[in-house]
Amino acid sequence: MLETKRAVQLRSRGFYVRMRLLHGTRSSRNPEKGFCYRYFKWILWLSISFYFFSSFLITRSKPSSSISRTTVSRSKPSRALIEESLLNSSSLQRLEIPDGLFKGMKVYVYELPSKYNSDWLSNERCSSHLFASEVAIHRGLMRSDARTLDPWEADFFFVPVYVSCNFSTVNGFPAIGHARSLIASAIEHVSAQLPFWNRSLGADHVFVASHDFGSCFHTLEDVAIADGVPEILRNSIILQTFGVKHKHPCQDVEHVVIPPYILPETVRATLEKSPAAGPRDIFAFFRGKMEVHPKNVSGRFYSKKVRTEIWRKYGGNRRFYLRRHRFAGYQSEIVRSTFCLCPLGWAPWSPRLVESVALGCVPVIIADGIQLPFPSAVPWAEISLTVAENDVDNLGKILEHVATTNLTSIQRNLWDPSVREALLFNVPILEGDATWQVVENSWDFLDCSQKVFCEVLMDALCVWGVGVGVGVGVGSGWGGPNGLRARMDDVARSDWSLLRLVGTNLYM
């Protein structure tokens, strides 16, 4: 049975009929209400037919389109018919992208209970450590012009769950064993409060996974691979620091590779004391964990023994400034260095990648197959060097060759301020910074989220058509299957948001 609510005006874009599927059978209906039900049903279909007839006249008054239509038999509309109509490229053409801030994109930020985010901020490290992009992106969006308080006009929905702030381990790094259950709980909450998760099965919902292996939520790769991406996130968009160029279970989901978090304030403070274009008296620099005798952890060795080999080969080389212990002022060493080594750890990415770029030191990337963040904004091939993991023995010769050939050109590209800003998360957002890049890159997923939504709507329409009387409502009222397909094409082309709203209310 269908239940209607009074049509309301949707800004200047027309009217929609809010519909809801209610479960039940004809046999369970009160016989005394039979006449009212039949009368109500006819009023419903007359209203729907009037709307589509009106919109038909409006759309047909415009210049005719060259889009061809497929001829189908005059049988009741099938799933294939609806699928072809909804997923047809002409129906799902991208919305006109306006000029201006974020191309007019709107993001709705869910207001979750504090246990999902702000409670974790009681530990100051939550907002400053290398995984803190989840906090910075949330804060940036809350103060951004891209944010909308009206979820009905949103293109995307941001779910602010902080999963990397549980600093309960002995080694000082956050534990993430609770990540899956915390995210599942947040999804249960938002899907119960508002209809938008169910509308698209989460395809237009965005999460941050800033830990070692992103949305697999584990620190060891073999366990991460075995666990994979949680099923509940498979349709969503994940902002994650992990990324490789080859197929990997931990990126078997729509995702944007983002940089690890570095405090912009510390970078700017360092550059005020020592400008990026200043003198550099250190040839090659690395400070961090380098095991002399690497431990076997479940058949894997830290850094695949790359860091161990760097220490063994160049630990006594005076041109290599290598240190194995932490130092709070290490950024002052980076800004004095020409080349900064960025070898893999357990994961291929490293915060040194961002720090070296931000402080003007040429990053030397030693992590086979790594996918780097924001390639459209950061010309990685022009500002960095890539050395294969098994070529570490030749590292000294490679750096010497670059130093005598094209180092000046690389540094000129590297010292472009826009390159540095693209890798830093600012609050509030600055044009071109990392959060800005996240929003800009999200346009690539707009068509995808529409297609997933249409798959959901398609199922609803099939149930709707079969269960409510296709012969009366669709077969004749819309001119048969051809008419149904034509109307869906027209509505999708003229007002995608209208079709989206109808689908939302079908699933409320």
**Predicted pLDDT of residue 2:** 37
pLDDT of 498 strictly over 50: no
**pLDDT per residue over 35-92, tens digit each?**
544 555 555 556 655 555 555 454 444 443 333 333 333 333 443 443 444 444 433 3
Residue 169 pLDDT: 64
Query: Is there a single domain that holds both residue 258 and residue 270?
Result: no
Q: How far is CA 11 from CA 128, 194, 325, 413, 498, in A?
A: 42, 21, 61, 47, 11
Q: Are 485 and 461 in contact (CB under 8 A)?
A: no
Q: Are residues 472 and 391 in the same domain?
A: no
The Cα–Cα gap between 408 and 365 comes to: 18
Rounded Cα distance, 259 and 239, in Å: 10
pLDDT band with cut points at 50, 70 and 90 for residue 441: confident
My answer on whether 151 and 232 are in the same domain is yes
Q: Are residues 218 and 290 in the same domain?
A: no
On whether both 328 and 415 belong to a single domain, the answer is yes
Report pLDDT for 66. 36
Pick from 4-18, 141-155, 210-224: least confident: 4-18
pLDDT bin (cut points 50, 70, 90) of residue 338 is very high
Contacts of 205 (CB under 8 A, 6+ apart): 156, 157, 158, 159, 190, 196, 197, 236, 237
Secondary element (H or E) of residue 386: strand 385-386
Over residues 256-276, mean pLDDT: 96
Predicted TM-score of the model (pTM): 0.73
20 phi/psi in degrees, rounded to 5 = -140, 135
Judge whether 213 lies within some domain: yes
Residues 236 and 280 both lie in one domain:
no
What sign for the dihedral angle of Cα 137, 141, 145, 148? positive
Let me know how long the chain is.
508
Asked, for residue 176, whether it belongs to a domain, the answer is yes
- What backbone torsions phi and psi does residue 366 show, to the nearest 5 degrees? -120, 80
268, 369, 393, 416, 423 from 379: Cα distances, Å = 22, 17, 27, 11, 12
Tally the C-alpha atoms within 13 A of residue 344's C-alpha that lie toward its C-beta: 29
| pLDDT score, position 47 | 60
Helix (H) or strand (E) holding 446: helix 446-468
Core vs surface per residue 224-239: b (16+ CB within 10 A) or e: beebebbebbbbbbbb
Query: Cβ-count burial of 430 within 10 angstroms (0-12 exposed, 13-18 middle, 19+ buried)?
Result: middle
170 within a domain of the structure (yes/no)? yes
Specify if 431 maps to a domain.
no
Q: Is the pLDDT of residue 483 over 70?
A: no
The identity of residue 504, as a single letter, is: T
Q: Is 20 a domain residue?
A: yes
Q: How far is residue 253 CA from its own chain's centroid?
A: 9
Which region among 76-80, 198-202, 283-287, 339-343 has the lowest average model confidence (pLDDT)? 76-80
Residue 492 has what pLDDT? 41
The CATH number for 418's domain is: 3.40.50.2000
For residues 85 and 111, membership in a common domain is answered with: no
The answer as to whether 379 is a domain residue is yes
pLDDT band at 298 (very low <50, low <70, confident <90, very high): confident
Q: Which amino acid appears at position 310 of this protein?
A: I
Instruction: Evaluate whether 382 touches 406 at the Cβ level (below 8 Å).
Output: no
Both 345 and 226 in one domain: the answer is: no
* 430 domain-assigned: no
Q: Is the same domain home to 204 and 276?
A: no
Q: Which residue type is seen at 318?
A: R
- Report yes or no on 8 lying in a domain: yes
Q: Cα(223)–Cα(338) distance, rounded to whole angstroms? A: 37
Residues 196 and 327 in one domain: no
Domain of 408, in residue numbers: 264-424
Is residue 195 located within the same domain as residue 76? no
Tally of domains within the chain? 3
pLDDT at 57: 52
Q: How confident is the model at residue 171 (pLDDT cuts 50, 70, 90)?
A: low
* CA dihedral of 240, 244, 249, 251, whole degrees rounded to 10: 30
pLDDT (tens digit per residue) in 195-204: 999 999 999 9
Q: Which residues share a beta bridge with 108?
A: 157
In angstroms, rounded to a whole number, what is the distance separating the alpha carbons of residues 304 and 79?
A: 51
Residues 193 and 338 in one domain: no
Whether residue 369 contacts residue 245, with contact meaning beta carbons closer than 8 Å, is answered with: yes
What is the C-alpha separation between 187 and 427, in angstroms, rounded? 26
Return the pLDDT at 248. Answer: 97
